[in-house]
Amino acid sequence: MKKHNYKVSRAGAMQPRDYSAEADAAPHHYSENMAAVQRHADDKSHGGNVEDEKFASATVTLNCDVISEDMEIAGFERATLKTALTWVAIVCTAGLLRLVFHWLPQYYLKCTHRRCSLAAADTVLLRDQYFQWFVHLVKTLRATDDQSNKDGLSMSPIGASPYLLIPDSGGRFREVTHIRYFVSKKLKYIWDEDTKSFNCLRSLDTDTPCSYFYGCQGLQEEEQTIRRQVYGVNAIRVRVWPILEILFREVLTPFYIFQVFSCTLWFIDEYVYYAAAIVIMSVASLSFYCYSFRTMQMELRNKIVTHDIVSVWRGGELVETIEAELLVPGDIVIVPHHGCLMQCDAVLLSGNCIVDESMLTGESVPVTKTPLPNPKVDKKQGPLYCIKEHARHTLFCGTKVIQTRYYGNEKVKAMVVRTGFSTSKGELVRSILFPKPMSFKFNRHTYYFILCLSGCAFIGLIYTFIVMSRDNTPVGDMVVRALDLITIAVPPALPMALTIGIVYARQRLKEKDIYCLNQNSVNICGVINAVCFDKTGTLTEDGLDMWGVVPVIDSRWKPIIHNTTEMDQGHIQVCMATCHSLTIIDEELCGDPLDLKMFQSTGWDLEEPAIADSVKFDQMMPTVVRPKKPRFGTSTEDVGQGESTQPEIGIVRQFTFSSSLQRMSVITRALGASNFDLYVKGSPEMIVSLSKPETVPANFAEVLQTYTMQGYRVIAIAHKPLPDLKWVKAMRITREQVEQDLDFFGLLVMENRLKPETTPVIKILNDVNIRTIMVTGDNMLTALSVARECQMVGMYDQVILINATPTGVAYVNSEHVDVEPAAHPKEEVNFLVAGDSSDVRRKDKRYHFAMTGSSFANLRNCHRHLLPKIVQRGTIFARMNPEQKAFLVEHIQELGYNVAMCGDGANDCGALKTAHAGISLSEAEASVASPFTSLQQNIKCVPTVIREGRAALVTSFGMFKYMACYSLCQFTSVMILYNIGCNLTDFEFLWIDLCLLTVLGIFFGRTAAHSVLVKATPPDSLLGATPLLSVLGQMVIMVLVQIVVYFYIQTKSWFTPFVRNHEKEYASYENHAVFIISQFQYIILAFVFSKGAPYRKTILSNYYFVAAMGILTAACIYITLYPMQWIINLLELHPPDSLTFNLQFIAIALVNLAACLICEMFLVEFLFFRILKNKYKVLRRTKHVYETIEKELRNDRSWPPVETSHEHKRKATEEALRSPSSDTAVILGEATKPTHATADLLHRNDNAKPFLRNLSTNSQSLLISPPSGGASVGTSPVNDSAYAETQYQSSL
């Protein structure tokens, strides 16, 4: 049969298996379908070329608009003969082969199935870009099947239907009799006979015209039921495993399988005490694991799973109440007036909704959702619905509808477009359940090292058979002794010992209000060398603060006013009190934080009409604002025509803020006034372009630049009287008719303050060469200013703005210039402005790249070859959406960095989960996605986590070397004694294993982290030259000492050799000598490997460990010099009668200690690590990718090809004018001096004439905007006045 191979290609990164969700992703009755139990390779070259070639023979695409991922897929069908032969092999190996197949299910599939086309496949094998394998059954759903008892398909009996409905393009559904499908990572893929491929089950958010939604009349119960057969229930379910299942899965891991083998062997060999001790510790470890794992699952389920009752419209006046889990795409739900928690993604069809989208954005700012524009009414709207473009008309799952507003008795309706794991909340949960796998070098190398120990055990096994066969030892005893040697060389307690440091680190973190959900992330924190920070709420305070108002009177700037409550009641204060979108919900003033701060700074009160909140939808009764107390001074500017000194202003009409128009406005009327007034606020460039030139100060650009360069949020305000406007006309007039010929009145200056802990923490990280990166959704200039203020960008560092378009990449030079602050800013500082040429590649200056999310997306899609260089020097990433944040973290990781991410919002969840160590400053959804959660709402937790990670990693390193040397040391003792047919006695083993090793191991990791971070990171490779030399050096000393003692005791006159026997009577001088010196060696090894500075405190601070060493050393000395008879009998010792000889054991132990210290501290750490490694390149570790790129950047002074600001503006203008769009506006500016070069270019270009709106010889800003008032691209919202940013984005 011809073999077919298929590639599932979907741009982006697939979220792979999380152990906590393994069973969730697999069919319950097919154990081989567990999600990805093996990462097949550490890099792309480790998967096997044969398999890569097989998977590359043909391709087919799985189309899905919910997630982006790359998978390869192949079809298999059951082969009876192969299955029979495989099970014969399983029986012959006593089930060991089946255990291997449990760990590697893809090989079980290949051994029991044969390859076939996807059309004939009953099982599919998928491999993602992380080389993880997924095995899934292909199921068939028929229309005649009764689905009433199928879990996950219905909450009530639905019986059989005559057909199934599967979605098609255009919102249409077609009837079929059956479907073939499989489920992978919570998404359903159905077979398409037309394309011969598996396609992700589409919803109504794909290829659906907007007109479709207004043509629907709701679903009848029968059709809803039929659709639910295909879509399943509308539920985001997180399965909590039963205790027995968790226990069973953990026991079947290789570690516990080896422990079962070891303990069984020890019980057979009557080594009962230590076997029992290991069993007790293992049971305790398993119990703790099961408890913590199930607790974590339950916490995740409780935070995610919700249940609710919804009302669905069945057409006409019929409204039915059903469970939310029964919803399907196409249902029309009635949003209750008191609000609700959305259980699906739905497009709003009527009424307005005020929504809290903090789950998606991380900011608890109420957002007003409006109905989807009806193409029959508004011809400008595009024909297809896009959930991203129409986000302001979409209610997302997991967001909270605070309130609805509607006309009279009209219901607020929304049509369901996505359900279950396809929703926005479902995507978030999927990213948590299936994160990117973390590959940590230390963890990988532990397996390689264990293989080396296994090799030693194999050599010892052969040696044992040779020696014991020579002595005619019974075969049974030979097998037991040989297998026992394996448990000595590979200690079963090794994995438990490696977690000691992690357990103590988690405990210390908990004491500092930092909680760790994933203990595997603790050690990774020890090698973190790059940290990405969100800005708002992480580096800075959550909200904005009013810094001051800069008035303009008669085209002249007036002194700045900081106390806005003391301002005269003129147009500026009235604009601040009225021009906003605030509303009162449950007797609390709610709205955008900027509007809230602006209004609160006036000291006025807002009063809404005394009607129900839910019907405040275009009501005729206006909102009224008034001062809280009478003022005794009045302004020379009269507000309206009233005589009252205590004005009451009614907000008659509101034109909401539009990011494309960069402004909002309100029509107001003062109590007793005969005319209306228009107040407008928005970005300074936009307001100036709409204002009368004679009202704008000549030095407007310089003053604006003074504030924006310091990172202030600057908003311009303007006013226009409307003397001839009547009430009816005011309700109908368009904003384009009134928002022109304005009087410019000044600037509002607001600041986003840094948290006091931010700058010190950033300085600490910079001082120890940990790279800091800002990843924010805020505007570019604010991000630049915050980066300088917190010292993320040095005072004399330069920043190059990256402007990437599909056709090219521009590098706009920025340099430091001293600008004399105008209007009394905070202080005289260095500002970042676009200027003419400066050598940014001078060796004494470091430059940083800064870019927005759109440029980052263009780099990923069109200029990927430049991405490594730009990411290497990229420090500021602004306007980044959640998906782009996660992609950025991945790209930084690809350079070889170990990345931490610190954020506080649900919009950071993807990046928090993608990073090697995610640190959440929130207890909401972000805490579920993040390995670490800090209850302290600042970034002080970052260096704390890194310090504890370093301490835990060094502890794990020391513990691993200790356990390896312990096993080899004991292995050496046994091998020496095997040579004469002797061995250590059971209680000698017990004294070493239980009293020495266990006690020292427990307290080994209790040494706390050092209080100071250092530049050098601890090693993360066990196979590096330094750790290998350390272990090898110690073992050479230990082996030599044991051999010397073994032969030395034989030189004494009173020595009598051991006589071989089969009664296991091992008491002899040889046994005594080897045991006595080896017990000191275990204490010496613990002392030598328990290092302190620079990553841990001194060993003397670990009181328990020091006390344990002292007590055990004293016990060993006592056993050596003059043990009591019961100790001699218990341990089966044969001590010499000479006290002088016994003192020689103590002397040899001291020499052993001195030799080990010299080896570790001088030969390894000083001579090799500090001297030889720096002298000989061959001894140094392989450079990371980022180190190679950084070296290239330092040496290549011809890159980047930086342009001057004038060159960039001219190129951007030419590009914009080649194909001017009807909905594109471009703001261009001269940053350093007034010039008409750009203006002349516009005037000479015929394409620009229809777009030329305003050009003043005194203006340093040129606005090109379509006369129809189309959308503006490349500009920021109302609070983004960043002048340099608009330059930087001009070519967009």
What separation, in Å, do the N-terminal and C-terminal C-alpha atoms of the chain show?
53
Backbone phi and psi for residue 1266, each to the nearest 5 degrees, phi listed first:
-65, 145
Q: From 850, 886, 854, select the one nearest 871 (Cα to Cα).
A: 850
Q: Is the dihedral of CA 196, 202, 204, 207 positive or negative?
A: negative
CA 75 – CA 326 distance, rounded (Å): 33
Full DSSP string of 633-700? ---SS-STT---SS--EEEEEEEEEETTTTEEEEEEEETT-SSEEEEEEE-HHHHHHHB-GGGS-TTH
Full DSSP string of 505-553? HHHHHHHTTEEES-THHHHHGGG--EEEE-SBTTTB-SS-EEEEEEEEE
Token pair belonging to 1083: 């204490």
CA 996 – CA 963 distance, rounded (Å): 12
Burial status of residue 400 (CB atoms within 10 A of its CB: 0-12, 13-18, 19 or more)? middle
Token pair belonging to 185: 């990572």
Burial status of residue 137 (CB atoms within 10 A of its CB: 0-12, 13-18, 19 or more)? middle
Q: CA 460: distance to chain centroid? A: 47
CA 386 – CA 1054 distance, rounded (Å): 94
Strand order across the beta sheet in which 649-658 lies: 556-557, 545-553, 743-751, 713-722, 676-682, 663-670, 649-658, 623-627, 604-607
Residue 536 near residue 363, CB atoms below 8 Å: yes
Residue 648 near residue 671, CB atoms below 8 Å: yes
CA 1280 – CA 1286 distance, rounded (Å): 9
CA 820 – CA 830 distance, rounded (Å): 9
In 915-1024, which ranges are continuous DSSP H helix? 925-929, 941-978, 986-990, 999-1004
In 771-900, which ranges are continuous DSSP H helix? 780-789, 853-862, 867-873, 882-894
CA 1050 – CA 1070 distance, rounded (Å): 8
Q: CA 699: distance to chain centroid? A: 45
Instruction: Write down the catalytic residue from 18, 24, 534, 592.
Output: 534
Q: What is the phi-psi region of residue 587: left when phi exceeds 0, alpha when psi lies from -120 to 50, beta otherwise?
A: left
Strand partners, 664: 681
Residue 540 near residue 754, CB atoms below 8 Å: yes
Q: How many CA atoms lie within 13 A of 584 on its CB side?
A: 13
Neighbours of 1256 (CB within 10 A): 17
Q: What is the phi-psi region of residue 798: left when phi exceeds 0, alpha when psi lies from -120 to 50, beta otherwise?
A: beta
Q: From 312, 334, 332, select the one nearest 322 (Cα to Cα).
A: 312
Is residue 534 part of the annotated active site? The answer reads yes
State the catalytic residues. 534
